[in-house]
Structure 1
């Protein structure tokens, strides 16, 4: 597809992602109260990670459940959920409640055992080279991991590769220029990641957990939109929105400079179409390019 065609496709998708008849079911959960609760828990991310990740686990399972229901009309029971960068498995219990088989993938053994949790079937591996065959899982997710990966869009491609046709991929990551981009070194990351890391070391006497250039990288909202614009024809972008914002603020994704500063975490939701031939292929191709756009509402 030509560049103008891809741009038109992305613009239509951004409009359809948060307004009109294609409004995701999850949009109804995106209230100001939810936003304040999630953002307020961020301060516990290092001092009491169970508080932060416990709340995030509930929110993530709801997000996945809603989008999977939108896509398939089914619940999560019986599905296989692959969590790329799943760490010690904070999300395992929530997905077990949904009746899903949850498999976390984590490259760092110390992270896998950091919380003293034991997740059956946990896999050690890199998100940039997932140790799974093509079309292996129903759902592939990654929450707050892409900013810790030197090649996040290789990881996104890998996530799509292992997701089966008709399945769901959800990638959620922290935007570098947002208020939480520097993680524990913020807000000094606005003066540069290396400067922020050195300042943290001087102030605390220890290296930050998230070291810029090694385990923390600059990833923009524009990077996510660029990836979405360039996906193959068998991939459909279902939604792009700021994760921690109430629904009435999702429009921020469409404003280039503003989104880098105010979209603290970007979510990209995608699916892979099943192969089609003949008339079915032509119909599938039209739906990939001509996402419906409805008039904007308040």
Structure 2
């Protein structure tokens, strides 16, 4: 497994605290939250590219699986990437008022692209919203050119943010309980409903898929932790509660 030196240097405590402070803004100010997250995601992909490929990413093609309303397009385009996205939800596509010209409507489990199309294929916080996420992972590998990167980042169910907007502890009682309690408190269902648009995906599932999918594993680490805490991924049970968001980096 590569050392990911550039990516490690970027994973500072300051960055972790900045991202942690932004999380409560997801529902209150989604434009601000997703703009910050998009910038961080582009920087993450760029450092992974630098560590793994070793050449400048300018002009490289990147597919965002579950790209949403277009916040990520700006961040990647400004950094010189050729950005493409696929998103299944019409409401998500139009949430920011305009649809990116290079975004296609489609399901990540059946991507509307030919084999070996993209230099990088990634998904950011999508896996936990898909009923069969590793089918999506296989599709991401299929459309990535040989030698390119596949980056999957997702929220671990037993981490503190596994229940998303339904609370920090309610999902430990159960996903259905968390959903009912949220609806009782707010008078409407949560955006992410357990069993239909939110699923319990463990850290171990992602590690098992990564090691058995046939691609080269470049990195496995917690997305929002400083580099000195990356060792948590190696500890069974503990990782389910403390990793929070697992990043899987593969070379196709």
TM-score using structure 1 length: 0.82
Tell me the equivalent position of 1:257.
237
Q: Quick one: structure 1 residues 53 and 243, their matched pair in 2 at CA, closer, same or farther if it must change by over 3 Å? A: same
Taking the aligned partners of 2:41 and 2:186, their CA distance within structure 1 comes to: 32
Tell me the equivalent position of 2:222.
242
**Residue number among 91, 95, 101 corresponding to 1:110 in the alignment:** 91
1:222 partnered with 2:226: no
SS of 1:253 mapped into structure 2: helix
Tell me by how many angstroms 1:118 deviates: 2.8
1:74 partnered with 2:55: yes
State the Cα deviation string for residues 127-184 of structure 1 (Å, max 9, x = none): 0111111101111010000000001111111111100011111100000000000001
Tell me the equivalent position of 1:146.
127
Tell me the equivalent position of 2:165.
184
Query: Which consecutive segments of 4 or more residues in structure 1 shift more than 6 A?
Result: none
31-40 vs 70-79, which moves further: 70-79
1:269 partnered with 2:249: yes
SS of 2:28 mapped into structure 1: coil
State the Cα deviation string for residues 202-258 of structure 1 (Å, max 9, x = none): 1100010000000000001001110012122xx101000000000110000011111
Taking the aligned partners of 1:256 and 1:23, their CA distance within structure 2 comes to: 23
TM-score using structure 2 length: 0.97
Larger RCO: 1 or 2 (CA < 8 Å, sep 6+): 1
Tell me by how many angstroms 1:23 deviates: 3.5
Q: How much is the aligned-residue C-alpha RMSD, in angstroms?
A: 1.0
Taking the aligned partners of 1:145 and 1:106, their CA distance within structure 2 comes to: 10
Tell me by how many angstroms 1:80 deviates: 1.1
8 Å CA contact retained: 1:38, 1:244: yes
**Residue number among 121, 144, 165 corresponding to 2:146 in the alignment:** 165
Tell me the equivalent position of 1:285.
none
Instruction: Note the 1:58-69 alignment, pairs <5 A.
Output: 58-69=39-50
SS of 1:238 mapped into structure 2: strand
8 Å CA contact retained: 2:4, 2:52: no
Taking the aligned partners of 2:211 and 2:74, their CA distance within structure 1 comes to: 34
Structure 1 gap segments, 5+ residues each: 1-12, 17-21, 273-298
State the Cα deviation string for residues 93-134 of structure 1 (Å, max 9, x = none): 111111111111100111001111331121000001111111
State the Cα deviation string for residues 25-82 of structure 1 (Å, max 9, x = none): 1110111110011111010111111221111111111111111122222222111110
Taking the aligned partners of 2:98 and 2:51, their CA distance within structure 1 comes to: 32
Structure 2 gap segments, 5+ residues each: none
Tell me the equivalent position of 2:191.
209
